[in-house]
Amino acid sequence: MAFTGIRQWLRARLETKNYSKTDQGSFRIGHSYSDALIEAVSRRDEAGYFYSTGIVGMAFKDGFSIVDGEGMRVDALSDELEKLNWLESIIRGVVLERKDGAVTFVLFDEGHLMPFRKSNVQFRIDAFGDFTAFKLKEKIGGGNTDIYHYAGDVEQLDLPVEQVVEDIGDLDDVFHEVLRPDEYRYQGISVLEPILDVLNTRRIIIGAIGIHATRKAAGLR
């Protein structure tokens, strides 16, 4: 399934309109939460749905059937998640958040998901709550030179003329749902942790199927 298909898949399950990020605010990980809040977040936008509900359905929808004896599937991820190719970025995001207490995910229009340290990024948001520009600052050459990556409407950003500047593509969305505000760093459980639990659980189950099938074929119990 192409990335466009994934977006349609998510939207089909929202069943309500997308609300403005400005009106609704960010999904503040670390706040106390309730079933009503989780439901509101899952219906608010695509990213909220993915992190609260969609990831589970995508991880567990296929891949568990043992076909014939030797024809069983042992893939670690469902086809949809495999094609998204987000697992490595999610793992990097977990590492960043555990170290810095916050992480920002950026989704580009090609379907690439990338995690960034909160302190290194800057955004512009329009009156409708949509992200229109993104800037990332990082060190290169042993930390002596700054390089700026940007996406979206570059005219909104204050980019230094004397520094290296790189256009990294068109901005599609910022997963603001996993951006912790400073006052909530290191508090509560990150939404990324249960996502990894879901994926790891699926891998364990599928791995166990292969092990037990092999033992059974060998006459072991």
Give 148-158 pLDDT, tens digit per residue. Answer: 666 666 666 66
196: nearest Cα among 81, 119, 83: 81
Q: Please give the radius of gyration of the chain, using alpha carbons only, rounded to the nearest integer.
A: 20
Taking only the tens place, the pLDDT of each residue in 98-141 is: 788 777 777 776 677 778 777 777 777 666 656 667 777 666 55
CA distance 127 to 20: 9
Tell me if 137 sits within 8 A of 197, measured CB to CB: no
- The mean pLDDT value for 89-97 works out to 80
57: nearest Cα among 18, 1, 9, 105: 9
Which has more confidence, 81 or 45?
81
Q: Structure tokens of 44?
A: 């608010």
Q: Given a cut of 50, is residue 87 above it in pLDDT?
A: yes
pTM of the full predicted structure? 0.52
User: What's the pLDDT at 169?
Assistant: 58
Q: Which amino acid is at 144?
A: N
Total number of residues shown for the chain: 221
CA distance 38 to 32: 11
